[in-house]
Amino acid sequence: MKIYSALSLSILVASIMLSHSNSNKCYAFSIREASIDDLRTAFNQKQLTSTQLVDFYLEEIRNLNPILKGVIEVNPDALLQARKADEERKVKKLDSLSALHGIPILLKDNIATNDKLNTTAGSFALLGSVVPRDAGVVKKLRKAGAVILGKASMSEWANFRSYNAPNGWSARGGLGKNPYNLSADPCGSSSGSAISVAANMAAVSLGTETDGSILCPSGFNAVVGIKPTIGLTSRAGVIPISPRQDTIGPICRTVSDAVYVLDAIVGFDYNDEEATRKASNYIPHGGYAQFLKADGLNGKRLGIVRNPFFKFEENPVAKAFEHHLLTLRKKGAVLVEIDDDKASLDYNSSAEETALLAEFKIYLNTYLKELIASPVRSLADVIAFNEKSPDLEMTKQYGQEVFLAAEATNGIGNSEKEARKNLGKLSRNGFKKLMRQYKLDALVAARYDVASVLAIGGFPGIIVPAAYDSKGVPIGICFGGLKGTEPKLIEIAYSFEQATKIRKPPTFLH
């Protein structure tokens, strides 16, 4: 889909580059590509304030967002929160402040905030709706002292409205662009979160995943995504698809940034009681940052199933990944090559769809009923809304067949039960069995290709930048593990990242 002519696009890109070289001169300290550790050091050495940091990102959003469309709303209170953080830093002991104190974070637009920001999943249908409270993860972020910078754009309704809409598109947000190649797919559905941190429009961000929605856009935008074990992070106050598969996780430029965010958002939440209580048992004493070890690959057993998880269209990319396997080995990992036909990592998309469609209707209707005020109160209302202006044109273009299929379901009946059983069996006889049989710490996969296998079982995964293709589009490497194995995955991902350092800032090709 071409929106700009080649000429106007190149003028826009040129002006982006120009504004880039200018805006960094304002501060002694370079904010672009700075990690949380860098920012905290700059805070502590009084080279930087949260207010300056928010100013910087607001300026970048003004410059870049008209093209990239990664941000859907800016928080009118972001500067106020930053000033408060600056004041607190003056009077409190620095080591008593959390890693996220004064750090601006962007939230995917399906994560509720009880403030001036809207929570709409990119849809006009929810514009002006009033949520009963902050999402569970937002409560924890505020407690940690993070600055809520705004909401990130996303594939509308987390890709659950229509199969025809392009990734990163929503009626409210427009079409999100991949900052590495503006003509390329940014992937979704947490597209805006990945685009925005990749392009330095925010320090860190949160995304959500039901099947691939953190891992895929993170890979396509050269950032790090953590898809936590189901229930490790509260889903309360997040516009749902299905609590059986939904999870909330960080999308950041580095593994350590993502881990600091993870540390802030994990844990029990009364409003997502059962799942968060159960998963709380996985949280290690002292949190996750202790697993940021440069030698974290030493002794790890990593499974490689070449077909389908290590196949490449381009030779240089294949070579880059072969080189990565060497690096993993050099850092002390044991690579376990597993015969394709012994892996049986089948995944049944029809069973997943059967279960998700019925679950979506149930949980979306519950979410909409609990809103304090809302233009729509049920999936049926949303469907009707999409048939009227301002959404009618969008509906004509992209349809809403997923909504219609979900609306046609009638609770969890025999076919849904059968489908869930089927998915459970696939996880048990597939991924779980493989991990145990070969005593693996993680399965390694190129891109996000293992996302569905992880999704249906509620398993965690981390994706790290690994390569760029001939069109300049980033490609990630993904490490997936059994439930609760985030500590191991973090050791592996951090050690890989430190040994390779593939991430580079956006190139704005087109």
Ligand X SMILES: *[C@@H]1O[C@H](CO)[C@@H](O)[C@H](O)[C@H]1NC(C)=O
Catalytic residues: 108, 189, 213
> How many CA within 13 A on the CB side of residue 123?
29
What's the min distance (Å) between Cβ of 123 and ligand X?
12
Strand partners, 196: none
Instruction: Classify 212 as helix, strand or coil.
Output: coil
Q: Which helix (H) or strand (E) holds 442?
A: strand 442-446
Tokens of 69: 């469309």
Size of the site for ligand X (CB under 6 A): 21
Out of 11, 14, 76, 388, the only residue in the binding site for ligand X (CB under 6 A) is 76
Cβ atoms 241, 277 nearer than 8 A: no
Q: Does 314 help bind ligand X (rule: CB under 6 A)?
A: no
Q: Does 116 help bind ligand X (rule: CB under 6 A)?
A: yes
Q: Does 64 help bind ligand X (rule: CB under 6 A)?
A: no
Number of neighbouring beta carbons within 10 Å of residue 429? 13
Antiparallel, parallel or unpaired: β 174-175 and 204-209: unpaired
Q: Does 128 help bind ligand X (rule: CB under 6 A)?
A: yes
Q: Does 418 help bind ligand X (rule: CB under 6 A)?
A: yes
Q: Does 114 help bind ligand X (rule: CB under 6 A)?
A: no
| Contact pattern from residue 173 through residue 202 relative to ligand X, giving x for each residue in contact according to CB under 6 A and a dash for the rest | --------x-xx------------------
Residue with smaller CB distance to ligand X, 274 or 313: 313
- Non-local CB neighbours of 297 within 8 Å, separated by 6+ positions: 328, 331, 332, 333, 491, 492, 495, 496, 499
Listed ranges 204-212, 288-296, 344-352, 374-382: which one lies at the site for ligand X (CB under 6 A):
344-352
Out of 354, 374, 386, 498, the only residue in the binding site for ligand X (CB under 6 A) is 354
Q: Does 417 help bind ligand X (rule: CB under 6 A)?
A: no
Kindly calculate the radius of gyration of the chain based on its CA atoms and give it in whole angstroms.
22
Q: Does 351 help bind ligand X (rule: CB under 6 A)?
A: yes
Q: Does 350 help bind ligand X (rule: CB under 6 A)?
A: yes
Listed ranges 97-105, 270-278, 417-425, 450-458: which one lies at the site for ligand X (CB under 6 A):
417-425
What's the min distance (Å) between Cβ of 357 and ligand X?
12
Q: Annotate 142-175 with three-state secondary structure.
A: HHCCCEEEEEECCCHHHHCCCCCCCCCEECCCEE
Q: Which residue is nearest to ligand X (CB)?
A: 351
Residue with smaller CB distance to ligand X, 19 or 348: 348
Q: Does 73 help bind ligand X (rule: CB under 6 A)?
A: yes
Number of neighbouring beta carbons within 10 Å of residue 421? 12
Q: What is the DSSP string of 328-348?
A: HHHTTPEEEE--HHHH-----
| Contact pattern from residue 420 through residue 459 relative to ligand X, giving x for each residue in contact according to CB under 6 A and a dash for the rest | --x-------------------------------------
Q: Does 110 help bind ligand X (rule: CB under 6 A)?
A: no
Antiparallel, parallel or unpaired: β 147-152 and 104-108: parallel
What's the rounded Cα separation, in Å, for the pair 336 and 443? 9
Q: Where are the alpha helices (DSSP H) in 107-254?
A: 136-143, 191-198, 215-220
Q: Does 412 help bind ligand X (rule: CB under 6 A)?
A: no
Site of interaction with ligand X (CB under 6 A): 73, 76, 116-118, 127-128, 181, 183-184, 348, 350-351, 354, 418-419, 422, 471-472, 509-510
